[in-house]
Amino acid sequence: MADVLLTADRTLMSDYHQNEFLGFGTCAPPNVIPDWLYSFLFFPPMKAVNGVSLAAPYGLRKVEAQLLGEGFKVLTVDPDHIGKYLDEAKVLGIHVMDPFGLGPASSTFAAILKKEPFLAQYFRRFLEKPEVRKAKKRGLKIVVGGSGVWQFKYRENFVEEYGIDCIIDGEAERVIGKIVRAALNGEELPKYYEVSVEETPKLEEIPNILNPSVNGLVEIGRGCCRGCKFCSVTLRPLRWYPIEKTLAEIDVNFKSGYTRYACLHAEDVMLYGSRNTTPNDKKLVMLHEAVVKKCDGGIGWSHCSLATVALKPKLFSKLAEIILQKQPWWGTEVGIETGSPELAKKMMPAKAHPFKPEEWPEVVRTGMGLMHDNNLVPACTLIVGVPEETENDLIKTIELVEDLKHIRSLIVPLFFVPLGKLKNQQWFKETQMTRLHRELLIKCLRHDFRWIDNLIDLSFAGKWYAKPMRSLYTFFVKLIERKARKAGIT
């Protein structure tokens, strides 16, 4: 039996019908359809054998690999089956991304719909399970890690009330072993452990995953060199994996029989192997040729910048040609953030680099146009309510969204959340919304309604369950559209 159990709540232990875009649905609060139907549509349970998850979030798999490598007895378990294993366990590690719904997407939804998002509800309910409470009383140590741990600083009472013993903030490979060892030895744990820059793992210290990751996600690198002020990723050093490391992790996913697909993860896939903001043609082509050759189920990108696509259109088309040999389209997340060159200069001076921040709107138009022409479908974010935002900035963003209406994409406006270098600034609240903020929200909603049918078609094309699933999602979208129309939004 395992001393250490790893898990995450239901909204994270799902593969969203093998479609990462649908994962965004976990950010919404309960809405027009019953909760059971909503959870089935957006975050159905992951397959599990005896309660052991077939796939788990990538970050959790890295921690699992690190602990197994250090000789601990570890098991990654589905949250609904945790009770079976808790009697023997001494440490419970929980992976979090947005535990209280304070992240930009969920806090925006919650502010508008005035309800607690699903992902916050499910995290709380997991810790309220009688079997978790019972194990806690017996002395179970609860350790939390993942990209959402910053939110615990805003919920100190919750940490006490729910008996969370240790929160690890940062890349955990070099510290998780000593914390788990201390927990097993009954030693006092640090309540909030911030991983220092010196403790950030070097490439050779990052283990390969040993078991499948949700939707075949595999890292190709960590860190980002652009330094946007509102982002916490920017504080980490840039490291790129050798191709063999990525291929070895893809093999782990394939051998398990879970997937034949790989989602390449980096803050900007187009910068793979580069030390600055100019893509490295040779390394990118080599990576994609090797990955596409292996992946008969296709590939996706986690994130990609518009500046790199606009800078190297020929390289981008070459990569598209390689990827599209085996699939009709692929998806990625893209940060547009603003249509204002002035605001871009203040908040994200290197986002357009090597272009000038003044050229940002043109970079966005060019990059998005190239994505459309090459069948890359971006899910784009805008940040509203950043400090120093002016009416003029908002007008320029509205104009940019209008210019993008013919580009197949989703555009999601998110309220500013104080992170990164701006962590001491004020949150943006819905009560601060002006007429222009509303106009921008409406413009984005109209854009998304224009494209959503097309995206649903693309997402389910070729799948045996395409017809019923398509009908269900279309029904859901129509309900939301009707509600929006009634509220005078569209």
Contacting residues toward ligand SF4, per CB under 6 A: 224, 226-228, 231, 233-234, 267, 335, 348, 351
Provide the minimum distance between the beta carbon of 484 and ligand SF4 in the complex, in angstroms, as a whole number: 29
Distance separating alpha carbons of residues 141 and 139, to the nearest angstrom: 6
Among candidates 347, 435, 459, which has minimal Cα distance to 21?
A: 459
Handedness of CA 477, 480, 482, 485 (dihedral sign): negative
Distance in Å, CB of 304 to ligand SF4, minimum: 10
Cα–Cα distance, 455 to 410 (Å, whole number):
9
CA 430/CA 415 separation, integer angstroms: 8
Distances (CA, A) of 426 to 156, 289, 392, 419, 483: 19, 46, 21, 10, 31
- Ordered DSSP codes for 376-395: EEEEEEEEES-TT--HHHHH
Which residue lies nearer to ligand SF4 by CB, 252 or 370? 370
**Closer to ligand SF4 by Cβ: residue 231 or 368:** 231
Which one, 20 or 165, has the nearer CB to ligand SF4? 20
Question: Closer to ligand SF4 at the Cβ: 143 or 422?
Answer: 422
Question: Toward ligand SF4, which CB reaches closer, 77 or 266?
Answer: 266
Instruction: Please state the closest distance from residue 340 (CB atom) to ligand SF4, in A.
Output: 16
- List the alpha helices (DSSP H) in 348-465: 360-373, 391-403, 435-460
Report the residue number, 344 or 445, with the smaller CB distance to ligand SF4: 344
- Closest to ligand SF4 by CB, 207 or 221: 221
Helix axes 281-294, 313-323, angle to 10 degrees: 10
Give whichever of 76 and 338 is closer to ligand SF4, judged by the CB atom: 338
Minimum distance, C-beta of residue 57 to ligand SF4, in the bound complex (Å): 19
Contact (Cβ atoms closer than 8 angstroms) between residue 171 and residue 147: no
- Largest distance between two CA atoms of the chain: 61
Nearest approach in angstroms of CB 268 to ligand SF4 is 6
Of 320, 305, 439, 321, residue with least CA distance to 366: 305
Our CB check for ligand SF4 shows the closer of 103 and 207 to be 103
Tokens of 374: 């090459």
Q: Are 176 and 66 in contact (CB under 8 A)?
A: yes
Question: 251: closest CA among 216, 283, 279?
Answer: 216
Please write down the HEC assignment for all residues of 29-45.
CCCCCCHHHHHHHHCCC
Please state the length of the chain. Answer: 490
Q: How far is the CB of 225 from ligand SF4 (least distance, A)?
A: 7
- From CA 32, how far away is CA 479, in angstroms rounded? 7
Nearest-approach distance from CB 335 to ligand SF4, in angstroms: 5
Contact indicator for 412, 444 with CB cutoff of 8 Å: yes
Which of residues 9 and 337 has its CB atom nearest to ligand SF4 in the complex? 337
3-state secondary structure of 126: helix
Q: How far is the CB of 267 from ligand SF4 (least distance, A)?
A: 4
CB of 185 to ligand SF4, least distance (A): 38
Minimum distance from residue 227 beta carbon to ligand SF4 (Å): 6
